[in-house]
Amino acid sequence: MILLNYKVLYRKYRPDSFETLVGQNYTKKILKNSIINNKISHAYIFSGPRGTGKTSTARIFAKTINCLDNSSGEACGKCYNCLNFADNVDIIEIDAASNNGVDQIREITNNIKLAPTMSKYKVYIIDEVHMLTESAFNALLLTLEEPPSHVIFILATTNIEAVPITILSRCQRFEFKKIKASDIIDRLNYVAKEENIDIDEEAIKEIAYISDGGLRDSLSLLDQLSKDKDKITVEKVLDEVGSVSMKSIEKLMDLVEDCNHQQIVETLDEYRSLALDYKNIIKKIIDVCTNRAKDIVINNQYKRLTYDNYKEIVFELADSLNKINVNIDSYSFIELILLKYINFSKASTMVKPLKDEAIEPVIVEENKTKQARKDVIKDENIDTNIVDIRINNCFVDATKSLKLKGIEQWNQFINEDIPNEIKGLVMDSSLELASDKIYVIMLDDLNVDEFNEKNEIISKLFKKIMKVSVKFVGINKQLWDEKSNKYKEDIKKGIKYEYIEEGKSKKDTELEKFAAKVFVSDKIEIE
């Protein structure tokens, strides 16, 4: 007779102390402090995604509070209770998915009156507690209201919304987060080394990505892939789970950028023929689009698709996960969404849209008149225009870090719930320059004047929503190119920009400086 002694990896490497528990640092800290300070609650509820350590933490907590030497907040691992924890009859684990009736809860109610057999506390760990029936919840509620001092309940759930508020209000609640990919990678490397598993680093990264924050899932997949002795490569991982590499998805989105509709269709047909899991494909496209949108915001550069384009693709794909069903080919759905962005670039916060050549003659003449007026002002060397003054003053104190911060604030502002008349003005805009007092905003020609007329209103609204007090000035591309190029030339010539008080011209400012040298009086008036 052959004994099956093999233990699956996620069980073999299940943490047995707070020190070996991966992730959940905040929860570990609070629980350890409660043990150190002897402030143990009678009921806890651990909620969060599967495979993030809820049940493991419950077992570790149960072990530690019953340890005979837990003054450090950790189980000593040497006392009688620690050494016999696996066989401790006072630690009762219940799977509510299969034991969800009122009879099971009433059995608990009857047994909690009995003192622990070998421990300080009798601990009931109820996994997937949201699966209990309504009558079972009512019976549990009665137990939670006045439990004996030697009883502790730890409830675990992946669906906190399904747990009645009456239960939640009687528990200390801990939210378990998805485990960081870097932590999962470190753990997989450790297990692979311990088990002599030959695996590529790229394969480990792919497993960590696929597990989506669940350490148990990642260990299960590693276990599954290690059944044969061949080296585990990223290709082997992708074949096993029915997915494709991030490089392949990057190439797919490059095809969208390049408007190559034929190869987009061919690529998705290839995914379809390989029977790849469309959910994995959608998730990876979302991740690639999110990263590209972030890159646009940070670097203020883009190819054809804009920040808003990528944002819309993400939202549409995420929404498609709820709409795709057996009657709709999932890859056709993805195809339709991506093809929508071929030869199309919606005006967005990061793009300056091309002008329609068929603009009404009246508008063209109006723009010519406005430009002519600006040219007259420039020729007369009179810089009383608030636009010119604020651009000048922004150049005085502008920095790259302030610009990056300003871009983030401005993009957040224009996506907030602001009045439609303001929303219409600012949606097709981008921040080009920023100091700590002034933001220079580039807009479409037709919106510049109205923006500057309403810039005080916009400033007040921005301060109310973003809690930041700055002045704004709107410009078009032509004026920005002119001002920025002149600034670069002046810097090369060693010309220093100086702050101009609003309402005064450069000529006034220079005259004041001259008068200050000639006259001693502090009070200077210029007529």
Q: Which of 204, 222, 241 is the last residue of a domain?
A: 241
Whether 478 and 424 map to the same domain: the answer is: yes
Predicted pLDDT of residue 325: 60
Whether 198 and 289 map to the same domain: the answer is: no
Predicted pLDDT of residue 370: 41
Whether 154 and 14 map to the same domain: the answer is: yes
Whether 146 and 216 map to the same domain: the answer is: no
In a domain, 378, yes or no: no
CB atoms under 10 Å from CB of 134, counted, come to 9
Q: What is the DSSP string of 166-219?
A: HHHTTSEEEEPPPPPHHHHHHHHHHHHHHTT--B-HHHHHHHHHHHTT-HHHHH
- Distance of alpha carbon 449 from alpha carbon 133, whole angstroms: 64
Range of the domain at 74: 10-175
Whether 80 and 111 map to the same domain: the answer is: yes
Whether 226 and 266 map to the same domain: the answer is: no
Alpha carbon 367 to its chain's center: 43
Whether 282 and 306 map to the same domain: the answer is: yes
In a domain, 364, yes or no: no
Q: Which of 339, 357, 375 is the last residue of a domain?
A: 339
Predicted pLDDT of residue 361: 37
Predicted pLDDT of residue 326: 52
Single pTM value for the model: 0.56
In a domain, 344, yes or no: no
Classified as helix, coil or strand, 25 is helix
Residue that has been written with the tokens 């005085």 in this structure: 396
Predicted pLDDT of residue 125: 92
In a domain, 165, yes or no: yes
The string over 136-170, giving b where at least 16 C-beta atoms fall within 10 Å of a residue's C-beta and e elsewhere, is bbebbeebbeebeebbbbbbbbbebeebeeebeeb
Whether 40 and 111 map to the same domain: the answer is: yes
In a domain, 485, yes or no: yes
**Helix residue ranges per DSSP H, 324-399:** 330-339, 361-379, 386-397
In a domain, 527, yes or no: no
Supply the Cα-derived Rg of the chain in whole angstroms: 33
In a domain, 72, yes or no: yes
Whether 218 and 271 map to the same domain: the answer is: no
Q: Residue 458 maps to which CATH number?
A: 3.30.300.180
Q: Residue 109 maps to which CATH number?
A: 3.40.50.300
In a domain, 372, yes or no: no
Whether 140 and 190 map to the same domain: the answer is: no
Predicted pLDDT of residue 381: 40
Number of domain units in the chain = 4
Is-contact 216 10, C-beta < 8 A?
yes
Predicted pLDDT of residue 376: 37
Q: Residue 185 maps to which CATH number?
A: 1.10.8.60
Q: Which of 222, 241, 260 is the last residue of a domain?
A: 241
Whether 26 and 167 map to the same domain: the answer is: yes
Residue that has been written with the tokens 């809690």 in this structure: 467
Whether 143 and 191 map to the same domain: the answer is: no
Instruction: State the 10-residue block means of pLDDT for the chain, 527 residues long.
Output: 64 86 87 89 90 90 90 88 87 81 79 84 90 85 84 90 88 89 89 88 87 86 83 83 82 89 88 81 89 86 83 86 68 86 52 35 40 40 68 90 90 84 82 93 86 90 91 91 88 85 58 44 37
Is-contact 335 264, C-beta < 8 A?
yes
